[in-house]
């Protein structure tokens, strides 16, 4: 099915295996190796690293998607066959540095998932802050059947989403999850109709871009660290971050707007 995320490739800035375009305050980043099911090679990692290292001024959120029917079929195995142990370590750390710039960068990131979300593609999706899935999406970690192990941070991020036992099952047996079960387990926060993922992801990114930048930054930077810390340390960190956020001039302006009934109220979900 045609999708809005594929319609604007001609207008995007094409940087090797990526397309990059600006939609207001949102940066839209597309994996553009459709013939390889958007398998991630070193060139793609370097391009993603460069992209998320230099977020343009005025960008407040980002969307990552895959051109074509798949988000990403994972690591391009053609680049792995000649690596020795030492080179393998450095290769994995290359992925870590790139994905850390997505997870702990200056802006929240939405991943739009459809088709294959496999191996390294799932690791990339897990580095995003929100994930939107279409019904065609399916999730797998076939590393066990390939004789390898996850190397893009999946052993850290994915157990936080689905637990160690489920991740071990996926790697040991080749078990795959469809979109509906994946959303229920936590691999995606949103499940929408086929062809609707990009528009939903863009709308979420635009909504986050309207937040106070300091609040977004605190959610990205502080929340995961608080969740991983000793509760006593976490409570103290929370107090510091809360005081910092509410002391910001934009927060004060937003609170005054709410008190003066110039801001929308939280509504019951439909």
Q: Supply the CATH number for residue 146's domain.
A: 3.90.226.10
Q: Is 266 domain-assigned?
A: no
Give the 3-state DSSP-derived string for the chain, with helices as H, strands as E and coil as C: CCCHHHHCHHHCEEECCEEEEEECCEEEEEECCHHHCCCECHHHHHHHHHHHHCCCCCCCEEEEEECCCCCECCECHHHCCCCCHHHHHHHHHHHHHHHHHHHCCCCCEEEEECCEEECHHHHHHHHCCEEEECCCCEEECCHHHHCCCCCCCHHHHHHHHHCHHHHHHHHHHCCEEEHHHHHHHCCCCEECCCCCHHHHHHHHHHHHHCCCHHHHHHHHHCHHHHHHCCHHHHHHHHHHHHHHHHCCHHHHHHHHHHHCCCCCCCCCCC
State both tokens at 146: 């390939």
**What pLDDT sits at residue 78?**
76
Q: Is 48 domain-assigned?
A: yes
Residues 106 and 178 in one domain: yes
Q: How are strands ordered across the β-sheet holding 138-140?
A: 116-118, 138-140, 176-178
CA atoms within 13 A on the CB side of 132: 22
Cα-Cα-Cα-Cα dihedral of 28, 31, 37, 43, to 10°?
-170
* Residue of 176, 133, 172 whose CA lies nearest to 150: 172
Residues 34 and 151 in one domain: yes
Domain end (from 209, 224, 239) = 209
Whether the model pTM is above 0.85: yes
Q: Supply the CATH number for residue 217's domain.
A: 1.10.12.10
Q: Classify each residue of 80-95 as buried b or exposed e, where b means 16 or more C-beta atoms within 10 Å of its C-beta.
A: eeeeeeeeeeebbebb
Domain ranges, residue 236: 213-259
Q: Are 117 and 71 in contact (CB under 8 A)?
A: yes
Residue 187: pLDDT over 70: yes
Q: Is 78 domain-assigned?
A: yes
End-to-end CA distance of the chain: 28
The reply to whether 123 belongs to the active site is yes
CA atoms within 13 A on the CB side of 268: 1
**What pLDDT sits at residue 2?**
46
Residues 224 and 97 in one domain: no
Residues 160 and 255 in one domain: no
Instruction: For the chain, give the longest Cα–Cα distance.
Output: 65
pLDDT grade, residue 58 (50/70/90)? very high
What number is the average pLDDT over the span 214-230? 94
2-16, 117-131, 139-153: the lowest-pLDDT one: 2-16
Average pLDDT for the chain: 91
Report the C-alpha gap between 97 and 198 in whole angstroms.
Answer: 26
Residues 15-42 pLDDT 10s: 789 999 999 999 999 999 999 999 999 9
Residues 205 and 218 in one domain: no
Residues 83-105 pLDDT 10s: 789 888 999 999 999 999 999 99
Structural domains in the chain (count): 2
Residues 127-161 pLDDT 10s: 999 999 999 999 999 988 888 899 999 999 999 99
Active-site position among 103, 143, 183, 196: 143
The position carrying tokens 């809360």 is 242
Active-site position among 103, 123, 134, 183: 123
């Amino acid at each position: 099915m045609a999708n809005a995320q594929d319609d604007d490739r001609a207008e995007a800035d094409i940087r090797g295996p990526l397309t990059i375009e600006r939609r207001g305050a949102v940066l839209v980043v597309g994996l553009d190796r459709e013939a390889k099911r958007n398998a991630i090679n070193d060139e793609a990692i370097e391009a993603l690293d460069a992209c998320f290292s230099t977020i343009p001024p005025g960008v407040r959120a980002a969307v990552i998607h895959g051109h074509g029917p798949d988000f990403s079929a994972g690591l391009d195995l053609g680049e792995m066959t000649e690596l020795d142990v030492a080179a393998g370590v450095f290769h994995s750390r290359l992925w870590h540095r790139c994905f850390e710039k997505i997870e702990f960068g200056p802006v929240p990131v939405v991943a739009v998932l459809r088709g294959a979300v496999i191996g390294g593609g799932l690791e990339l999706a897990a580095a995003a802050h929100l994930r939107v899935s279409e019904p065609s999406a399916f999730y797998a970690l076939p590393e066990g059947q390939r004789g390898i192990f996850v190397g893009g941070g999946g052993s850290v991020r994915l157990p936080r989403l689905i637990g160690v036992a489920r991740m071990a099952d996926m790697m040991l047996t080749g078990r795959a999850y469809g979109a509906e079960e994946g959303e229920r387990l936590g691999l995606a926060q949103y499940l929408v109709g086929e062809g609707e993922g990009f528009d939903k992801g863009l709308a979420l990114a635009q909504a986050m871009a309207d937040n106070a930048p300091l609040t977004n930054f605190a959610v990205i930077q502080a929340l995961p660290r608080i969740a991983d810390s000793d509760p006593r340390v976490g409570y103290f960190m929370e107090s510091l971050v809360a005081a910092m956020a509410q002391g910001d001039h934009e927060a004060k302006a937003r609170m005054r707007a709410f008190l003066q009934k110039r801001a929308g109220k939280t509504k019951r979900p439909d």
